[in-house]
Structures are given as C-alpha cells and as structure tokens.
Structure 1
Amino acid sequence: MSKYIGVDWASKGWFGVILEDDGWDADLFPSIWSLWKYHSDASRICVDVPIGLPSDEKRPCDVEAKAKLGRRQRSVFYTPVRDAVYEQNLDDAKALNEAQAGFSIQNQAWSIVPRIREVDEFLDMYPSARDRLYETHPEVCFWALNGRTPVGESKQTAAGVDRRRELLVDEYPEAADILEEAVDTYTTPSYAPMVSGVDDILDALVAAVTARRSTDAWATLPVAPGTDERDLPMRIVHPSTTNQTRLSTLEPDA
C-alpha cells in the first residue's frame, strides 16, 4: 500500500497529513525522528523546510521561488549557509553568513533554523531517507496548482483559505473533508490549540497532495538543481501541471 505525507512545522510540532490508497490520517509529531518512527514506509514525504544548505551564496531555488510568487514572496526566506545554521546565536550567525555569502539572515529565517538543523541532522543519521524526503514550499505548490499564478489572497483571510481549498479539492477531492476535520481537531479548544491555525493545515495538505503525485508530474526550482557540500539537492519540488493535465501523466507506484 502506498503512503504519501506532507509535513509543515506548526509551532508545537510537525503537522503531517498522511494519504494512503484506502484513506487518510493526520497527526502532530514532536520531531522528524518521531515522524520517521511511524512512517518510514512512506513512498514520498514532502516537507516545508530547506534541505540542501548553501556554503557561499543564496540558493537558486530560493531566488526563483521569490521571483515566481510576486506579492507572496515574503513567505520565502533565504536559507542561511550551513555554518550559520549551526551557530548558537543570531548575531554570530548573521556575521558568519554575511562573511561567507554576502547577505544577512532574516529574523524570520532564524526562527526556523532549529528545524533546518533538525532535518539536516536527521538526513545525516538516516541516509536511506534521502530518496524519500523532499523539500517543498506550500506557496510554490499553490502557485503551480493555480495555473502558475500566485494566489493573491493571504491565508490569513477567508478568501485566501477558500481559494486554496478549491485548488486542493480540484487536485484531491477528499481534501475538503481532511481540512474540515483537521481544523476541528487540532485548532480547538481555542485556548489550547495543538496547531496555531488553518494555514499550517493547508500547508501540510498541499505538501501531501504534491507527494502523492508521480515524480514525473513534478517540477523543480531550479530546473537543474545543484547539491550542497554533503551532496544534498538544493531544490524545491512542486506540481508541474494543473490537475487536468496531470491526469494523463500520473503513473501508479509499484
């Protein structure tokens, strides 16, 4: 039985949507190691976090993602260089990043550095996961599903949520039920939610439907990605086509 997973960091843990041939599930995992403990049999896992880390420049995939997203480009952060990811405070990390790559680290990017390091260390410990754990970016995926046009409305608005739900349902009809049940389960009660908002659920869900596609129905930013010093690809995977075209190119997994 094939299994495809989309994962997004959701404040208290990694929120994951699991799609299988006979249904779906969702869960909150405290770490990537916890996710792997229960789902190391997954065919593909798409995660919203940088994987290949640069050493002396901005990653081309981040630069291209910003260019594609227009007004939504603020959702993409330039990935710090590997040495900066392993620094202990922001001031030292910024100084090192500027010296090695010529750009500073955005405060928002620094907030996800522990997650970048977590996934980097996980892949170092479990090299067998390299061919199943892929970096994606939710807004790039929505851009692709929206006819290669950025979704104009923010996920913080009702119109933005509705448009992304429409795109997800067109790709995977059960997405409406997944979204409704996950919001009810993980964002309530309001005084103690496990997931901070619907945006985290949307992000994990679009990563999951991307993972569900055949890799032949994927595209990457950039088209010909390079690798980092540990031979990890520096790329962002996303759907290559809208649903109507995809149907003729999807191939079932063995």
Structure 2
Amino acid sequence: MAKYVGLDWASTGWFGVVFDDDGGWDTGVYPSVWSAWKYHSDAARILIGIPIGLPADRKRACDVAARRKLGRRGSSVFYTPLRAAVYCQTLEKAKAVNEAGADFSIQNQAWSIVPRIREVDEFLDMFPSARDRLVETHPEVCFYALNGHTPLSEPKRTRAGVQRRIDLLADEDPDTRAVCADAIDRYTTPSYAPSVGGADDVVDAVAAAVTARRGPEEWSTLPETPPADDRGLPMRIVHPADTAQTRLTNLSSPE
C-alpha cells in the first residue's frame, strides 16, 4: 500500500501529513528530516516545503517564476541563497558571499530557514536514494493552483486565510477538512501540545501531502525544464496541475 507524505517546517520541527491509497491518514511532528525519513522511507513520494537544489551564481528560476505567479503574495517565496552562502555560519558572512557571487542579497527571513535548507541538502547528500522521492513544493504555489491559478487574497496566518485554504483542500478531497480540524486541535490547541507554529503550518503540510498523492502526472513544474545544481539536484517547485486539463490530456492520449 503506497503512502504519500507532506512536510512543512513548523516552529521547532517538521510537521507531517501522511495519506495512503486506502483513504487512511496520519499526522506527526519530526525533529529532523532524518527522523521523518526513518518512519517514512517507504513512502512513494514526500513533498517538502523547503528549497532543494542550491544555485551557484544566480537566483533560481523556480523562485523567480513562483514570485511572479503569486503577485502580491510573492514575498512568501524567498530567493534561495547560493550554496556557498548556505554553509556560512553567520548572516553577515553569508550576505557577503552571496552578494559577491550573485546579483542579490539574502533576505533576513530567508536566513531563518537556512538551517533547514542546509539540513535537507546534507540529508540528500547522505541519502542519494531519497532524491527521486523527496521533492520540493511551496504551499502558496499549491494554493494558487487549487484556486484556479489565482493568488489568494487572504493572508495565510489569519483565521479567514486558514479557512479559505482548508476550503480549497476540501474541494480537492473532502476528507482533508477532518485532517485539518484534527491536527489543528491536536497540535496547536493544548498548552502541552507539540510545538507547531500555527494552523497555517498544518494546512501547508496538508497541501504538500495532497500534491504528493497526485503524483508527477498531475503536477506542474516551475520552471517547465528545471536546471540542476552542482550536485545534480533539480532546482524546481512542483504544484498541482490543472485537474480538468490533465484529465482531458489523459483522455485524448492514445493507449
């Protein structure tokens, strides 16, 4: 029985949502990507909301394309620092390295996720067998696609924004409404709950899991032909393709 995993960084750990072919689901918090892999190395696909594939001398084309598609929500996509900058120990050094090697600086918000970028990069270096199954996505790009290729007007951390994203997920799969409700209650409400940043982290992971379950035949990729980094990792962001168009294409394809 195949299973599909969505991972999103949530304050102090990776929040994960797991779907299987029988309609079952589960959730969990993992302190590292290694921990998530320990329990889900048998997954058919794992989609993660963190950059995979690090540039050497310029902005990644997938980041540029994602920001363009999201319009005013484009600020949720950070320009991924150069590989050399990701491995610096301080922001000051990283900015100097990045500015010397490319035509952009490192956003302060981007620096906050650099430890996670480095973690995933090191993981894929140690476990090359995971390269075909651990794939980068971006939750806001997924919601953009599920919203008819239109950026959402509601900010993700507001109550209205969370509800709008849950509604979009429920349009894709009605069961996701129960997944979101259970996980938000379990991981964000009690004072003793595992540290998940907020309800938006939950819906982001669900969006990744929903996209993972769709599979490559129902994905769109930014850019369409992604370049690889110096380790051979594709620099791409995948998101749900237009379902109606995908089904028309499949129906019209010769058997």
Distance change in 2, residues 1:191/1:41 (3 Å): closer
* Mapped partners of 1:177, 1:247: distance in 2: 27
- 2: CA distance between counterparts of 1:218 and 1:172? 16
Tell me by how many angstroms 1:249 deviates. 6.8
* TM-score normalised by structure 1 residue count: 0.95
The residue type equivalent to 2:68 in the other structure is A
Give the total of aligned pairs.
250
Cα distance change, pair 248–7 in 1 and its aligned pair in 2 (3 A): farther
Tell me the residue number matched to 1:199. 200
Amino acid aligned to 1:6: G
Distance 1:20 1:141 in 2: 20
- Is 1:231 equivalent to 2:232 in the alignment? yes
The alpha carbon displacement at 1:214 in A equals: 2.5
Letter in 2 for 1:8: D
Match for residue 14 of structure 2? 14
Q: One-letter code of the match for 1:156?
A: R
Matched letter for residue 227 of structure 1: A
Q: How do 1:97-246 residues align onto structure 2 when only pairs under 5 Å count? A: 97-190=98-191, 194-242=195-243, 244-245=244-245
Counterparts of 2:21 and 2:225 in 1: how far apart (Å)?
Answer: 31
Q: Is the 8 A contact 1:6 1:204 kept in 2?
A: yes
Deviation at 1:247, TM superposition (A): 5.6
Does the C-alpha gap of structure 1 residues 36 and 114 become closer, same or farther in structure 2, counting only changes over 3 Å? same
The answer (yes or no) to whether the contact 1:217–1:249 under 8 Å persists in 2 is no
Amino acid at match of 1:188: T
Q: Which residue of 2 aligns with 1:24?
A: 25
Could you tell me which residue of structure 2 aligns to residue 79 of structure 1? 80
Q: 1:39 to 1:248 in 2, by over 3 A?
A: farther
- Pick closer, same or farther for the CA change 1:171–1:12 going to 2, 3 Å: same
Structure 1: tracts of 5 or more residues without a match: none
Q: Deviations over 1:119-161 (max 9, x none)?
A: 0000000000000000000000000111100011011222211
Match of 2:5 in 1: 5
Structure 1's consecutive aligned runs of 4 or more residues displaced over 3 angstroms after TM superposition are 190-193, 244-250
Query: Secondary structure of the residue that 2:224 maps to in structure 1?
Result: coil
**SS in structure 2 at match of 1:16:** strand
Q: Once superposed, what is the RMSD of the aligned Cα atoms?
A: 1.6
Q: Which runs of 5+ in 2 are unaligned?
A: 251-255
Identity within the alignment, %: 66
- The answer (yes or no) to whether the contact 1:216–1:249 under 8 Å persists in 2 is no
Residues in 2 aligned to 1:231 and 1:246: alpha-carbon distance in whole angstroms: 28
Pairwise CA distance, 1:248: 6.2
Aligned-pair CA distance for 1:217: 0.6
Q: Which amino acid aligns with 2:213?
A: R
Change (3 A) 1:40 1:193: closer
The secondary structure found in structure 1 opposite 2:239 is strand
Residue 192 of structure 1 deviates from its aligned partner by 5.6
State the distance in 2 between where 1:202 and 1:227 align: 29
Q: CA 1:245–1:197 in structure 2 vs 1: closer, same or farther (change >3 Å)?
A: same
What amino acid maps onto 2:15 in structure 1? F
